[in-house]
Structure 1
């Protein structure tokens, strides 16, 4: 398979995954808003108890107990929904081949990386590094796809 075809397929797959992730973020944010604090606590406890070893579990439970509030829930809702809407918009216009969307998408993905690295400075979550790495791959694929469609004249203004 030629490099251009492989890069194009990887680009489409990556952008489709970004779109699916965006829809899940929007649904998650909306769901988050409607969860009562008690339901959220039960859900969080069950997740933490299943997924983390005891030492880390105790740390997370202590941290959440001291730092989680209704304001945190509203922020998480706003963040998930707004981030999801932006990603869904970008994914949609990229898949439609809008020429302006390539640069816009690269800028937005770069801003997502900056924010994720900023959050990493406070949380030290390895997931933020992984997400940033994936976003860097998406930026590369978006740039390569932009060059391909520009060179071949196969874009929609």
Structure 2
């Protein structure tokens, strides 16, 4: 079965939209995890981790994720907790800011989004070399895909609304009031 360029375009748009939705959820989770870490001491973080994993370990005493969480927080120092908190809050806010700006249709922010996510990819790559892990590898791969799709949308002079219209099968035509259809406006971008 051959795919048409339009079908391929719709798949790229769908992946782009799902990726940005996941970025928003990821950013929100990072923010919600990071904020309490700013005020909790390592012993309190360990107590919360024990509370959150207790039910799972009762159900499955060999659960690797629960053991990983408990082992990870047991070794946290005050400095490590503060670093994790700041990283999660900043990373979460940047992701939410990027998603909000692109959702609003501000194409001028695409290069900033690409640069910010690219910076995270580089940092995560360095961290992966120093401390390899499947989770970090998957997160980095996910960010690379989102950066590539964002570059694609930006180069095609498309907004998030264009991707939504493409996926929903509505006309890709823009309203006459949309400045992005004006060739003079496009070249100024």
Report the TM-score, using the length of structure 1 for normalisation. 0.78
- Structure with the larger helix share: 1
Matching of residues 115-154 of structure 1 within 5 Å: 115-150=123-158, 153=180
**Superposition RMSD in Å:** 3.1
CA distance in 2, matches of 1:117, 1:99: 27
User: Partner of 1:24 in structure 2?
Assistant: 29
SS of equivalent residue, structure 1 residue 2: helix
Q: 1:69 corresponds to which residue?
A: 77
Count of paired positions: 151
Q: Extract structure 1 runs of 4+ deviating beyond 4 A.
A: 45-50, 154-157
TM-score (norm 2): 0.67
Contact 1:4 1:148 in 2 (8 A): no
Gaps of 5+ in 2: 1-5, 160-173, 175-179
- In the TM superposition, what are the counterparts of 1:40-59 in structure 2 within 5 Å? 40-45=45-50, 47=53, 51-52=63-64
Kindly indicate whether residue 99 of structure 2 is the aligned counterpart of residue 91 of structure 1: yes
Matched with 2:109 is 101
Query: Per-residue CA shift, 1:121-155, capped at 9, x if unaligned?
Result: 22211111111111111112112222333598369
- Work out the CA distance in 2 between the residues paired with 1:4 and 1:20: 24
Give the gaps of 5 or more residues in structure 1.
Answer: none
CA contact under 8 A between 1:7 and 1:144: conserved in structure 2? no
Distance in 2, Cα, partners of 1:144 & 1:72: 37
Q: Deviations over 1:19-68 (max 9, x none)?
A: 12111111110122233433312344565966429xx86xx84x865x52
Cα displacement string for residues 85-123 of structure 1 (whole angstroms, at most 9, x for unaligned residues) = 111111111122212221111111111111111111222
Task: Give the equivalent residue in structure 1 for 2:162.
Answer: none
Q: Which of the residues 15, 37, 41 maps onto 2:42?
A: 37
CA distance in 2, matches of 1:51, 1:39: 22
Any idea what SS the aligned residue of 2:157 has? helix
